[in-house]
Chains A and B, each alone.
Chain A
Amino acid sequence: DVKVTQSSRYLVKRTGEKVFLECVQDMDHENMFWYRQDPGLGLRLIYFSYDVKMKEKGDIPEGYSVSREKKERFSLILESASTNQTSMYLCASSFTTAWADEQYFGPGTRLTVT
């Protein structure tokens, strides 16, 4: 079974802090994704990566950056956390770069910025 793990289930940070959210997948997947999920807004893509050190902006990249130094690990960075970044953050991975394959999601990190 594919396993996608995220570093924290719950996180509370202060405004202005730099926040790191980590995601690890154990199935040698090519693609990794970061989403945020807010009530009524569904899943919104922040960034994705199709290879090590490669990244693509999604729909809402402002205020975020990402890092993929190793194939299995994809980090989401909030450079200076703000209260409007309070949300559920979901990481996902998929196998191939040939097409938009099914995605496997991690359990999510609920981030609260105070």
Chain B
Amino acid sequence: GQQVMQIPQYQHVQEGEDFTTYCNSSTTLSNIQWYKQRPGGHPVFLIQLVKSGEVKKQKRLTFQFGEAKKNSSLHITATQTTDVGTYFCAGPRQAGTALIFGKGTTLSVSS
């Protein structure tokens, strides 16, 4: 069945280091979405990418959608303690309006 995979599952960095999480889909996606869940919180929508090869930036966060629209990445430059949390990618299911989520990458940052 359709799958969305994320790596790594966990990442620990020192404050100021960069961080990247990768998302791979078993199927071509019409869009990819990224969510962030802070510890003890709920997932919050960050961004949606639609076009092949699209790159979007939000301050220190850079999101990329692959040319084949089957993979995506989130890169954080110079991490801060406020970046701590779990980052999920999600793509549309093959039928309907539901999403299929990756298992997430949990980022911890030490100062």
Contacts and interface: CB of A to CB of B under 8 A. Distances in A.
Interface stretch (B11-19, B59-67, B69-77, B98-106): B98-106
A99 B30 contact: yes
Contacts, number: 65
B31 A100 contact: yes
A40 B103 contact: yes
A99 B45 contact: no
Interface residues of A, number: 28
B42 A108 contact: yes
Interface in B79-107: 88, 90-93, 96-104
A107 B101 contact: no
B28 to A, nearest CB: 14
Interface in B31-48: 31, 33, 35, 41-45, 48
A58 B1 CA distance: 13
Contact of A105 (B30, B33, B43, B92): B43
A33 B106 CA distance: 23
B101 A99 contact: no
Given A42-B88, A43-B43, A90-B42, A102 B97 contact: no
Nearest to B10: A40
Interface of A: 30-31, 33, 40-43, 45, 48, 50, 56, 58, 90, 92, 94, 96-108
8 contacts: A30-B97, A42-B101, A42-B104, A43-B101, A50-B97, A98-B97, A99-B31, A100-B92
